[in-house]
A = this chain, B = another copy of it.
């Protein structure tokens, strides 16, 4: 079993109110030096079989037709190595 990650972000030219709200809050929290924040979605898909080119192509299609609305969003698909203990 492998994990494929689809990251979906608003296109750069599209307003991102959520990211902006986070960014505007940073100075109050004592953080500076961050010039921009964008917030998007991360999908973790657990794939049963082998993640070969065919599987990736299908997930790409899934992302394009369903997970993202390509009118306003971009996406990336990547296979994730499952490294134990990477999460905090």
Contacts and interface: CB of A to CB of B under 8 A. Distances in A.
Interface of A: 1, 7-9, 19, 22, 25-26, 29, 31, 33-49, 55, 58, 60, 62, 64-67, 74-76, 86-88
Nearest to A5: B7
A43 B20 CA distance: 11
30 contacts: A1-B35, A7-B42, A8-B42, A9-B44, A9-B87, A19-B43, A19-B44, A22-B66, A26-B62, A29-B65, A33-B48, A33-B49, A33-B55, A34-B45, A34-B46, A34-B48, A35-B46, A36-B45, A37-B43, A37-B44, A38-B44, A39-B43, A40-B43, A41-B41, A64-B88, A74-B87, A74-B88, A75-B88, A76-B86, A76-B88
